[in-house]
Amino acid sequence: MLPARVIHADWSANPRKRWMAEAVLGADNRYTAQAPKLIRDAGLFMLTAMTEAAGGVLIGFDFPIGLPLNYAHKAGIDDFLTALPQFGEGEWAEFYQVAAQADEISLHRPFYPAKSGGKQRAHLTSALGLKDLRRACDRKTAERPAAAELFWTMGAQQVGKAAISGWQELLAPALRMGEYVKLAIWPFAGSFETLIKPGWIVACEAYPAEFYGHVGVRFPRKAGKKSGKRVQADRIANAPTLLEFAQARDIRLDAVLVEALGDGFGADAFGEDRFDVAVSLLGMLNIVLGYRPPGDPKAPEVAQIEGWILGMANDNF
């Protein structure tokens, strides 16, 4: 079945950079994609998803969901969905307290560093006694560079703070309310196809950098000039490609979204965030409509502990 709503949320640790784009399924079985909007309240965001889940809701978040396999083995974790609601409580009380110094890092307090100044990723791997803290899906592919380690919380590549925020504010509370909230997290709860059903919210890990190649976004390098998603003119240059992609997939774009595409999503500092959620929404719809496989993991440990990135090619895991 097709979910009634498909959403991509750019979940930054900075609330001002939390944006979402949404597509709604019409009576004619066609999706209408809407312009990005700011997520003003995490609780309200999930409450809205819950109250409108009758036809099924698919939400993609751009933060890691899952744990590196070698870390999980050492920490005694064999199921991510069981562990997630426990983080921040009991023996895991310090889990979300970011270590300020290397000697504060432990299996039960793995996020680092709380502030800059002489901090190195080697401190993290050394303190945990692990050579590599990347999951299989974090490693470099032909379409994108390697992602940062889950527990790293500093610099442009850090993903740790967004993971802390997303797990603490959204996923763990919803799992604890299992009696009232029908939340399934892919791929831990099952295959993509089996999870999409009426009354359920399906959450997954989904990234703009992964979807760029799927939908045809390109940022050619320019000698002596800045280029990329942070440049409004470069975002504008991708508008025709995105419009053609939507037309080829029979996805309607509302008038506000069409205007935003033509303007490169504005000249302010958040234009890149709005661009990313719009691209990611189209990438998710590409999978929902069956044009690209979701990438269900074959290896049980990957499906139960590490997780996977929606739409990422998966031949070996």
Tell me the pLDDT tens digit for each residue of 103-134.
999 999 999 999 877 788 889 999 999 988 99
Q: Could you give the CA distance from residue 197 to residue 190 in angstroms, rounded to a whole number?
A: 12
**HEC-encoded secondary structure of 191-247:** CHHHHCCCCCEEEEECCHHHHHHHHCCCCCCECCECCCCCCHHHHHHCHHHHHHHHH
| pLDDT at residue 180, as a whole number | 78
| pLDDT at residue 308, as a whole number | 97
Where are any strands of DSSP class E within 230-317?
252-253
Tokens of 278: 């719009």
pLDDT at residue 219 above 80? Answer: yes
Buried b (16+ CB within 10 A) or exposed e, 281-300: bbbbbbbbbeebebbbbeee
Mean pLDDT for 31-42 is 94
Among residues 152, 118, 114, 115, the alpha carbon closest in space to that of 132 is found at: 152
Reported as a pLDDT band with limits 50, 70 and 90, residue 68 is very high
* Chain segment 72-109, per-residue pLDDT in tens: 999 999 999 999 999 999 999 999 999 999 999 999 99
| pLDDT at residue 12, as a whole number | 80
Q: Could you give the CA distance from residue 272 to residue 13 in angstroms, rounded to a whole number?
A: 16
| pLDDT at residue 115, as a whole number | 85
Q: Could you give the CA distance from residue 174 to residue 61 in angstroms, rounded to a whole number?
A: 15
pLDDT at residue 19 above 80? Answer: yes
Q: Which residue in the block uniquely carries the two structure tokens 């205007």?
A: 259
* Chain segment 141-162, per-residue pLDDT in tens: 877 778 878 999 987 667 899 9
| pLDDT at residue 108, as a whole number | 97
- The region of weakest confidence among 122-131, 235-244, 274-283 is 122-131
Among residues 77, 66, 82, 207, the alpha carbon closest in space to that of 149 is found at: 66
| pLDDT at residue 224, as a whole number | 72
Tokens of 275: 């661009």
Mean pLDDT for 229-249 is 97
User: Three-state SS for 134?
Assistant: coil
The type of residue at 298 is K
- The region of weakest confidence among 34-38, 212-216, 219-223, 299-303 is 219-223
| pLDDT at residue 288, as a whole number | 98
